[in-house]
Amino acid sequence: MTKKLNQLMIVASLIAMQPSCSSFSLNPFSASGQEQSRTPQNAIAYACDEGKQFYVRMQNNGNDAWLIYPDHEVNLTKSTDNSNRFTSGVITLLINGDATTLNDGEKVAYTGCKAQVKK
């Protein structure tokens, strides 16, 4: 019985100390400040035909394009023949204003892609 009483006292003490810890909250719905952007940091969002989207983060002084899909990321290097073409050997991103395309293998996966301006 004393073991259970000790456990109960420890739990009660922890609960009593909880308000003193301002960074700890048991409420998963409490406001934690402003809603954060869904766009990855330092990335450009592209909205494409058929409601598709992806993100690109330019790196290495524009020599690499970090392609950010919803479920994975791929590094694409700048092609030597075209300054707006980036490839991994299989995936090719051609940045061409409002007609940007992304080919994933032999199929054209994303067409009519437009860079989204941050508001």
Predicted confidence (pLDDT) per residue in 8-25, tens digit:
777 676 666 665 555 555
Structural domain includes residue 87: yes
Return the DSSP state at 63: T
| Total domain count, the chain | 1
Structural domain includes residue 82: yes
Secondary structure class of 98 (helix, strand, coil): helix
Structural domain includes residue 76: yes
Owning domain of residue 50 = 44-115
Structural domain includes residue 73: yes
Predicted confidence (pLDDT) per residue in 31-51, tens digit:
556 655 567 788 999 999 999
Indicate which CATH number applies to the domain containing 56. Answer: 2.40.128.200
Secondary structure class of 19 (helix, strand, coil): helix
Structure tokens given for 108: 């054209």
User: Within its chain, how far is the Cα of 29 from the centroid?
Assistant: 22
CA 69 – CA 35 distance, rounded (Å):
21
* Residue 108 CB partners (closer than 8 Å, separation 6+): 101, 102
Percent of the chain with pLDDT over 70: 71
Burial label, 109 (beta-carbon count in 10 A; 0-12, 13-18, 19+) = middle
Structural domain includes residue 62: yes
State if pTM tops 0.75. no
Structural domain includes residue 54: yes
Structural domain includes residue 93: yes
